[in-house]
A and B are shown apart, each in its own frame.
Chain A
Amino acid sequence: MRLEPRESPGLGLRFAAPASAIVVALLLAAIPLAFAGAPLATAYAAMFDGALGSVFALTETLTRATPLILTGLAVTAAFRAKLWNIGAEGQLYAGALAAVVIASHAWSSSPFVMIPSMMVAGAAAGAVLLLIPTLLKTRLGVDEVVTTLLLNFVMLLFVSMMVEGPLQDPMSMGWPQSEPIVDEAVLPELVPRTRLHAGLIIALVAAVLLSLLINRTRWGLEMRAVGANADAARFAGMKIGRVMVFTAIISGGLAGLAGVSEVAGVRGYVTLDLSPGYGYAGIVVAMLAQLSALGVVVSAIFIAAVFVGADSMGRAMGVSSYLADLIVALSLLTMLVAGLVARYRIRWA
């Protein structure tokens, strides 16, 4: 068996690859479903219905998709430059904390001041958290995979310290929960009486901007060049360190925004269960989208649908909601195979 690179994978293949990966992952989910003793046809129907079957279900899916778009974009930006940022989870929490610090005390009564300053602070916090491992990589050669992973644990403990300490809500009666943000900082609802909020607009704008940045600017060209071949990029006169720092600011900033959006759009405060692994799921989102910023929107909605659908099916049929995490993990692995098939022609010789 030999693998020959395709000249350029056609548009059809670029869509067929993730679609078939998703179908295979969903089919493989029949194994855990059968193990849990759920009737398969009913379970799949309940999942579909729970994720997309009503206006309410759709808004729930889009609400879940919002942080996933942002973390997916964060991973896309980083992986394009081969900066292995596995720390979007920690950066999300950094952004969420910064949002609460900025917005828990009213210093302006205008949402037009509060919301942008929250976003800037959150993005900056996420960026700083990623800059630490990035500078360790570019200056000292420390592998960023392990450091970004370890910093997730450090950050979560820092959040725990803050919500039990200086940022704790005095009204929470000892519960580890931060002060709430003021009303002026809350993102407006998009559909009345649902949880869908303007964070989705922020995420969509971010996707368009990142797509333009990567595909239409010199900075994006340098990110892609460093990702494709760092030695060639250096030979072409690019400053690898600077490109990495720029990438880290974009990537960490986007993950930080995910935290801002969750605090200002959904929760109103920070707790230790703010994110059920949005940072890690962002990796799956980005890979399903083949590191295309606009594709991230589609794959984030799919992953969100899996989470919402599996949750609602699980509640109805007594299947553990970890089924969603299983499907998400499976789709990452099936996507790796599908991506290979899309990029190479298999010759049986």
Chain B
Amino acid sequence: MGEVIDILLAVSFWVAAVRIATPLIFGTLGELICERAGVLNLGIEGIFTVGAMSGWMAVYQGMGLWGGVLVAVGVGMGFGLIHAGFTVGLGVSQHVTGIGITLLASSAAYFTYRTVLPDVTSPPRIEPFEPIAIPLLSDIPLIGPALFHQTALTYLAFVSVIVTAWVLYRTPLGLAVRAVGENPAAAEAQGISVVAVRTGAVAVGSGFMALGGAFLTMSAFNAFFFEMVGGRGWICIALVVFASWQPAKALLGAFLFGAFDAFQVRLQQSIGAAIPYQVFLMLPYLLSILALILVSRRAAYPRALMVPYRKGER
């Protein structure tokens, strides 16, 4: 018990929790935007990977950090447009297309990395985003350093949640996104182009996913590793359901998840070798499944999720 309290009172724990949460915030927001418009995007895991690789690679080739972020977002949106072309334009299976995008984007990332750097054994590092302390706020005990002494990308994640929530609930564009995800025929009758809104939502959402990947290589690990995304994309899909498709709850879910993950790492260190380390590494995945089980009974899926829309077809 004493160990648990020690962990919870350490500043480094709270800082780590927010750091772990940041890519999940981006990914969950991105998936949420796609699904609110009625499109399941299983390409997320691959888009994370390709975002991580392309942002890092751009910086490694001499671009600035923000240039790298833009490259990652652009590449992510590109894969999002392919996903939208298939699922919205052609109306083919969102499940299968998504898996295809994940396979394509991650193998494209790995292939590019290996082709540009054929001989490297230890992954080359870049100079990452530095933490920025926000005056006054970062002096608050525990919460201050956790929330207000982070890198620029973490602040961008916070702002993204607010902007997404505002757009979704307070603007005509957000209304259009929600309408095409709930009742596309009615939206079309209101003069909204279902194809355009869904395509746009998937592209923007995929851009967010790539940002989540870029955070890993440009803010957290400073290098690109194979398999580094490690299921974060799939965890985001579970978090969207957990968050009932609401941006604020997505933020909360990502924080809870980050706190849990940071906690298990520290618990693992204090327990030592009594329990195999793999058990601890399994916990995030099992927690995601548990989260899905807890909310599944009252999960209010967007009604047109996974239903392709063809004009004039019932």
Task: Report A's interface with B, CB cutoff 8 A.
Answer: 2-3, 32, 35-36, 84, 86, 136, 140-143, 145-147, 149-151, 153-154, 157-158, 160-161, 164-165, 280, 283-284, 287, 318-320, 322-323, 325-326, 328-330, 332-333, 336-337, 339-340
Contacts and interface: CB of A to CB of B under 8 A. Distances in A.
Given A32-B108, A337-B90, 4 more contacts: A32-B111, A143-B296, A160-B278, A319-B115
Interface in B248-306: 276, 278-279, 281-282, 285-286, 288-289, 292-293, 296-297, 299
B282 A146 contact: no
A144 to B, nearest CB: 10
User: How would you classify the secondary structure of chain A's contact residues: helix, strand, loop or mixed?
Assistant: helix
Closest A-B pairs by Cβ, 10 of them: A325-B107, A329-B103, A320-B114, A329-B104, A322-B111, A161-B278, A332-B100, A157-B278, A322-B110, A142-B296
A150 B296 contact: no
B99 interface: yes
Nearest to A149: B234
Contacts of B312: 2
Q: Which residue among A3, A143, A322 has the maximum number of chain B CB atoms within 10 Å of its CB?
A: A322
A158 B288 CA distance: 17
B310 interface: yes
Contacts of B297: 140-141
Contacts of B134: none
Interface string B83-121: 000100011110111011101101110111011001000
B123 interface: no
B96 A150 contact: no
A36 B115 contact: yes
A136 B293 contact: yes
B90 A329 contact: no
Nearest to A157: B278
Interface stretch (B150-158, B170-178, B235-243): B235-243
B282 A340 contact: no
A20 B96 CA distance: 19
A2 B312 CA distance: 9
20 contacts: A3-B91, A35-B112, A36-B111, A141-B297, A141-B299, A142-B293, A146-B288, A146-B292, A147-B289, A150-B234, A150-B238, A150-B285, A150-B288, A164-B276, A320-B110, A332-B99, A333-B100, A336-B97, A337-B90, A340-B90
A150 B111 contact: no
Contacts of B106: 325
Interface of B: 42, 82, 86, 90-93, 95-97, 99-101, 103-104, 106-108, 110-112, 114-115, 118, 230-231, 234-235, 237-238, 241, 276, 278-279, 281-282, 285-286, 288-289, 292-293, 296-297, 299, 310, 312
A336 B104 contact: no
Contact of A153 (B95, B285, B299): B285
Nearest to A320: B114
Contacts of A145: 42, 95, 237
Contacts of A157: 278, 281-282
Contacts of B112: 35
B107 A329 contact: yes
Contacts of A165: 276
